[in-house]
Structure 1
Amino acid sequence: MSDKVSVQEALLYVMVTMSAADSSMPDAELGSIGDLVKTLPVFAGFDGNRVVTVAQACGELLQRPDGLDHILEIVADSLSPRLYDTAYALAVEVAASDGTLPDEELRLLEILRDRLNLDKLTVAAIERSAQARFRSA
């Protein structure tokens, strides 16, 4: 069994894990995480000053040999199934924010959608939406 965290912490775990997937955390991705926490209703009431603390806790979990599996277990246990698509959308948003999608990020998205049992139509809609938002002229 995993440790439960708040909904907002679980969503932050998803975003931080996505940003760290390729062993770097670009400023664009970190900025995107901060912007999402400040603007999305799902983060209403969450103390934005805790973002760094939660990100550090996530980073410590990622250092464990079973870190990714443990984080995904925490996320699945801490979120209601109705927020699984929200978690995936946030992961896609962070991945797309720096304009690149390395193989590690693509693989993590695949793992996340499988772990959260998201249907293909939902996944396609979320991914297409991000492509449209981040497309350059």
Structure 2
Amino acid sequence: MNQTVKTVPHHDALIYAMVTISAVDRSMTDRELKTIGDIVQTLPIFADFDHEKLVDTAEACGALMQGEDGLQAVLNVIASSLPPKLYETVYALAVDVAAADLHVEQEELRFLQLLRDRLNLEKLVIAAIERGARARHAVA
């Protein structure tokens, strides 16, 4: 049962997390897709990413999700592809995409739980990231 886990460039792993959180409830909303695009266009972590590869990267993630144990496979790729210093970043990006449409589905909450458990994030870090997202996505 010692399978070699696939790795991808860190940009791809970050995108996999965003695509997965958007797709896990079987409904990728326009707001979620726009948020993913905006994040890739504006955050410094993506400064050296070829933006033309975004669709191909998203499709590769979708193909991985369709495979055997798809969700676990995606989580394994994310965890094995990112250095620990980007664990909080990937969680924050996933939370922002989940919050983009102002409604977080149960499937999205479950994926966030799996992600934070897989990355072994501290409870205070999780709370701070989630609180920040609530503040950024609040409406009057």
Q: Tell whether the structures are fold-level matches, with TM greater than 0.5.
A: yes
TM-score, normalised via structure 2 length: 0.96
Match of 1:109 among 103, 108, 112: 112
Matched, 1:40 2:43: yes
Match of 2:67 among 55, 64, 89: 64
Equivalent in the alignment of 2:81: 78
* Moved segments of 4+, more than 6 Å: none
Matched, 1:132 2:138: no
User: Which runs of 5 or more residues in structure 1 are unaligned?
Assistant: none
Match of 1:4 among 7, 10, 19: 7
Matched, 1:49 2:58: no
Matched, 1:99 2:102: yes
Give 1:65 shift.
2.3
Tell me the SS of whatever aligns to 2:55.
helix
How many residue pairs were aligned?
137
> Could you list the per-position Cα deviations for residues 71-115 of structure 1 after superposition, in whole angstroms to 9, with x for gaps in the alignment?
111111110011000000000000000011010001111110000
TM-score, normalised via structure 1 length: 0.98
Mapped partners of 2:115, 2:78: distance in 1: 10
Mapped partners of 2:139, 2:77: distance in 1: 35
Mapped partners of 2:26, 2:51: distance in 1: 24
Equivalent in the alignment of 2:92: 89
Mapped partners of 2:67, 2:80: distance in 1: 19
Kindly, what percent of the aligned residue pairs are identical?
55
Mapped partners of 2:70, 2:107: distance in 1: 15
Mapped partners of 2:121, 2:6: distance in 1: 23
